[in-house]
Amino acid sequence: MTRSFIAVALGLLALPTLLATPATAHEAEAWSFAIHGGAGTLSRENMTPEREAEYEAALQGALDAGAAVLRDGGTAMDAVEAAILLMEDDPKFNAGRGAVFTWEGANELDAAVMDGRDRTAGAVTGITAVKNPILLARAVMRDGRHVFLSGAGAEEFAREREIETVAPEWFQTAPRREALERMKADQLSAYDVDHKFGTVGAVALDQAGNLAAGTSTGGMTGKRWGRIGDAPIIGAGTYADNRSCAVSATGAGEYFIRVGVAQEICTRLRLAGDTALEEFDNGQSEGGGEITLTDALVENVADAVMAEVKELGGDGGVIVVAPSGAAVFSFNTSGMYRGRATSKGVNEIAIFAED
Ligand code: ASP
């Protein structure tokens, strides 16, 4: 009996009909992919059609890059990397080129990746000269001796690994500098000045049934004192575990760290699966102890965890994929740059909550 199964503790009682037809957790050759380019206060009225089209094209490009890897039988981790690389190089997003400015007028980048097969992970923070922090995070993961490197040490490691470096000017863009200046002049908070979180992330399920997650960001405008957000913190902004799900978050990092959002979602899914198996073993249920993690069930758990973020005062969102192929979004803002594609023919991008 396959003991890979998934369920949702909170959803078990509330959504009995969804559990009526248990199935294997992962169908052979099924793949699934989701990306985000940040959540926030986004409304159609405040965006020109040209700007909207630019974002849509950028999201579609990143989605297609990752989906192509998965369609061709590539790994979930390669798909995550392919999509994030494109978004890091795109100045529209707050990651790599186009990152927000710190209080001192620098760009300090964070990134993380995690492989759901064995929960290996790599993360970097305070990066100022590596063109694509996601590549550095992956190199840390591959090296395996450490999980989380910071600042000068991380950059020394990058040089040793011959990972491309750039001058600090590469990351600087006029709109991001203007945001810092406005923040200082009008004594605004990062939330007032940014309106949206432009962090980028991707989560994937490959044909072999493996999950991976990655997130890359410049953090929040005007951050000080070496502030680190949730994105590079394994368990907060990024997490992947083949037994449950892969998650990448965007939003007010402090709250995501406090809730431990990414791991909390995965843990709830995993424990619900354990409960289902236990009940089957005890003869309390039928169906082989296997439960398909439908989109609705994953959404239910992601929404419950995002509600906790909201309760503490935080805004943002997550993307989640599960072994069943479920690819879902959950966010408590008026929009999130997002996209998803699956082997079942789903291929969509969206920006506003009503889309
Ligand atoms: N979560 C990121 C941080 O707090 C910000 C973002 O999502 O844009 O650093």
Q: What residue ranges do the domains of the chain occupy?
A: 3-111+174-352
Ligand 1 centroid to residue 3 C-alpha, Å = 36
Would you call 199 a catalytic residue per the annotation?
A: yes
pLDDT at 133 (0 to 100): 98
Q: Name 204's bridge partners.
A: 33, 212
Q: Which residue in 102, 128, 199, 333 is the catalytic one?
A: 199
Position 16 confidence tier, pLDDT thresholds 50, 70, 90: very low
Q: Nearest residue CA, atom 9 of ligand 1?
A: 219
Query: For residue 297, what pLDDT is reported?
Result: 84
* Confidence at residue 281, expressed as pLDDT on a 0 to 100 scale: 73
pLDDT band at 259 (very low <50, low <70, confident <90, very high): very high
Residue 45: pLDDT band with limits 50, 70, 90: confident
Q: For residue 41, which phi and psi values (nearest 5 degrees)?
A: -80, 95
| Residues 6 or more apart whose Cβ sits within 8 Å of residue 155 | 127, 128, 129, 130, 165
Atom of ligand 1 nearest to the CA of 198: 8
Asked: is 3-111+174-352 a CATH 3.60.20.30 domain? The reply is yes
pLDDT tier for residue 122 given thresholds of 50, 70 and 90: very high
Which residue ranges have their beta carbon within 6 Å of ligand 1?
38, 94, 197-199, 217, 219-220, 229-231, 237, 250-251, 253
In this predicted structure, which of 13-22, 83-92, 184-193 has the lowest mean pLDDT?
13-22
- Which of 2-11, 102-111, 143-152, 333-342 is predicted with the least confidence, judged by mean pLDDT? 2-11
Please tell me the residue having the least CA distance from ligand 1 atom 4.
Answer: 253
- Residue 273 Cα to ligand 1 middle (Å): 30
Average pLDDT, rounded, for the chain: 89
What is the share, in percent, of the chain residues with pLDDT greater than 70?
88
pLDDT score, position 276: 66
Residue 118 has pLDDT above 80, yes or no: yes
Average pLDDT over residues 154-164: 98
Dihedral angle of Cα 137, 143, 149, 153, to the nearest 10 degrees: -110
Q: How far apart are CA 84 and CA 4, in angstroms?
A: 29
What average pLDDT does this structure show over 202-221? 97
Distance in angstroms (rounded) separating the CA atoms of residues 242 and 266: 9
Q: How would residue 44 be classed by pLDDT, with cut points 50, 70 and 90?
A: confident
65-75 confidence digits (pLDDT tens) = 999 999 999 99
Stretch 263-278: mean pLDDT, rounded? 84
For residues 63 and 272, the model is more confident at 63
Residue 286 confidence (pLDDT): 64
What confidence score (pLDDT) does residue 223 get?
95
pLDDT at position 141, please?
Answer: 98
Which of these ranges, 58-62, 141-145, 176-180, 195-199, has the smallest mean pLDDT?
195-199
- Per-residue pLDDT at 230: 98
CA-based nearest residue to 228, from 192, 196, 257:
257
Predicted confidence (pLDDT) per residue in 306-344, tens digit: 999 999 999 999 999 999 999 999 999 999 999 999 999
Q: What is the pLDDT of residue 245?
A: 97
| Confidence band of 271 (pLDDT split at 50, 70, 90) | confident
The rounded distance, in Å, linking the Cα atoms of 284 and 5 is: 16
Give the range among 1-15, 40-54, 132-146, 181-195 with minimum mean pLDDT: 1-15
d(CA 26, CA 156): 40
Residue 195: closest CA among 262, 107, 103, 100: 100
